[in-house]
């Protein structure tokens, strides 16, 4: 088990799509091509796919399908260099991310980190997401009469959508018979507003919420302002009310690969003009093909709108 310190990563993802457009089957086949999966069933989920690395949970409802992937599965995808391919599968249609865990590891023992938290917040109260939070310590005694474990930055009655915990990762790994150097993990859970861009790189999300006195962003990281995306309403409205235009708009605004291309083009002299011309060329070529086949294609909207839409969302 390797540990990359000071590099934020996604350690859990729960995402839902409409039942008619869910890429759940494609996702399972894709993950199975990276690491062999075995099928299982439990009482909470209708489908469970397991490997030595982690698990995928799928729950199929009448109007939507939810997919959850553990940190081990996501780690295997990252190590295979196929994270962009994963986001293309998950972002092929409108989606809602209902849980995303953004984490970062630092080379410090849990005992030292917990001691530091007690000194930072002697009254057991911290400010997170603009509100006061009561700290909750869940500790385990060690042989040398010290304690280690987890501190939660919310109590059990908290009903919000931003969660934070800090814990002794080395101690947690040791309980699974895995030995790693002294390591503290900071893990932020967000249940609303995340996008697939945060799956690829959760740096902005993580340090938007982490209290700076608790952990400031390393100088090696570039942190930009983070904004939540709007929630898709497909799972609370009749599916037929969601137009094709709205679905396309949602994909364009949240697709991480498209945004990366536009950001790169805007850094080059003449890059945005080149990208605009190329998109217009592709649209025209596709329209001609559809026309020859007897179908219609609406080409009234310029590709400039596409570049403008994504440039604004990334600024």
Q: Note the pLDDT tens digit of each residue in 236-278.
A: 443 443 456 666 766 676 666 777 788 888 888 888 889 898 8
The neighbouring-strand residues paired with 152 are 136, 165
pLDDT tens by residue, 273-307 = 898 988 888 888 877 766 666 665 555 544 555 55
Exposed e or buried b per residue across 112-138, where buried means at least 16 C-beta atoms within 10 angstroms of its C-beta: ebbeebeeebeeeebebbeeebbbeee
Average pLDDT along the chain: 86
Structure-token match 């397991």, residue found: 50
- Tokens encoding 242: 């969601």
pLDDT value for 240: 40
Among 286, 304, 303, 308, CA closest to 295: 286
Tokens representing 295?
């179908």
The model carries a pTM of: 0.76
Q: For the chain, what are the domain ranges?
A: 9-241, 255-314
Region 202-218: what's the mean pLDDT?
96
């Amino acid at each position: 088990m390797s540990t990359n310190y000071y590099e934020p990563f996604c350690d859990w993802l729960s995402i839902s799509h409409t039942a008619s457009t869910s890429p759940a089957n494609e996702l399972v086949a894709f993950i199975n091509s990276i690491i062999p999966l075995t099928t299982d069933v439990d009482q909470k989920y209708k489908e469970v796919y397991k490997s030595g690395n982690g698990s995928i949970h799928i729950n199929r409802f009448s109007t939507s399908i939810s997919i959850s992937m553990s940190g081990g599965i996501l780690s295997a995808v990252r190590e295979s260099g196929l994270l962009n391919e994963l986001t293309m599968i998950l972002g092929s249609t409108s989606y809602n991310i209902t849980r995303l865990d953004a984490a970062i590891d630092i080379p410090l023992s849990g005992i030292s980190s917990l001691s530091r938290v007690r000194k930072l917040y002697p009254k057991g109260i911290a400010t997170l997401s603009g509100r006061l939070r009561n700290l909750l310590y869940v500790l385990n005694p060690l042989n040398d009469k010290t304690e280690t474990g987890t501190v939660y930055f919310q109590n059990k009655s908290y009903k919000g959508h931003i969660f934070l915990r800090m814990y002794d990762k080395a101690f947690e790994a040791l309980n699974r018979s895995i030995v790693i150097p002294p390591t503290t993990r900071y893990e932020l859970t967000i249940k609303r507003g995340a996008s697939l861009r945060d799956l690829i790189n959760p740096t902005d999300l993580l340090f938007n919420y982490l209290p700076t006195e608790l952990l400031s962003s390393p100088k090696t990281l570039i942190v930009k302002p983070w904004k939540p995306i709007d929630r898709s309403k497909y799972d609370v409205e009749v599916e037929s009310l969601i137009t094709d235009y709205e679905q396309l708009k949602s994909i364009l605004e949240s697709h991480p690969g498209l945004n990366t291309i536009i950001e790169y083009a805007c850094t080059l002299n003449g890059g945005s003009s080149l990208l605009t011309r190329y998109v217009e060329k592709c649209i025209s070529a596709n329209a001609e093909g559809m026309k020859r086949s007897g179908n219609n294609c609406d080409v009234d909207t310029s590709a400039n709108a596409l570049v403008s839409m994504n440039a604004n969302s990334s600024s």
